[in-house]
Amino acid sequence: MMAWNGLVGQSIPDVVAETLAEPVVDRAVSGARMIYRLPVTGAAGLSIPKQYRGGSWDWVIVNGGGNDLWLGCGCDSCDAKLDRMISADGAAGEIAELVQRIRRNGARVIYIGYLRVPGRSSPISGCRDEGDILDARLAAMAAADAGVTFLPFADLVPDGDLSFHALDRVHPSPKASRLIGQRIAATIEAAR
C-alpha cells in the first residue's frame, strides 16, 4: 500500500513529505509481507521488518499485513496467520515485535490500516472480516503505548466509489494515497 503510486511521485510517503515540507525516507516495496522467511529477497525489502533501519528517526510510518492475509491464506482460515502477525491483545507477533524495536530506538510510530473494498467486486472482497480483526489488534497495540498511533482507513472509501482504488481494486488510487498521506501528516503535525 505504501509503495503504490510511487513511480509517479504520488505515494503516501511522497504526500507526507510534501505536506509537512520534511524529508521522508521511503523503504516500502510492493508485494512485501510481515511474515517472509526467504533471506535474500527478504533483505531486499520483501520482508517488512527487514525494511526498517535504526537511526535517529522522529517518526516511522508502518503498514503491513494485507499481503500476508490476501496472498498468504487467501483471506480464508487466517486465524493462525493473524496470530503470527499480531496477538489478540496486540502485545506479541511480528507486527508488535517490529513496532517495539522501532520504539526502543526512540521513534514514534504511526501504523496505518488498510482501505476496504469499494462495495463492488474486488480480489480482496473476502478479506473484510480479517481486515477488521487486524485493525482491532493494531488498535489494542497502539492503546498500550502512547508513542504508537494507529490510523484506520476502513472508513475512507464510500460504498460504490471506485475512485479510491487503482484499477486492481486492491491498492489505493492517487486520490486515496493523497488523503491517507494528508491524514498521516495531520497526525504528525498535531503531535509537534
Cell representation of residue 171? 491498492
Q: Is the pLDDT of residue 100 over 80?
A: yes
DSSP state of 92: S
Q: What is the pLDDT of residue 76?
A: 76
Class of domain 6-191: alpha beta
45 three-class SS: helix
89 three-class SS: coil
- For a pLDDT cut of 90, what percent of the chain falls above it? 62
Q: What is the pLDDT of residue 3?
A: 64
Cell representation of residue 116? 476496504
DSSP state of 137: H
Q: Is the pLDDT of residue 123 over 80?
A: no
pTM of the model: 0.92
Domain residue ranges in the chain: 6-191
Q: How far, in Å, are 2, 11, 171, 175, 184 from residue 7 at the CA level? A: 12, 8, 14, 15, 20
Q: Which backbone phi and psi does 89 adopt, to 5 degrees?
A: -90, 0
Q: Which residues pair with 112 in a beta bridge?
A: 151
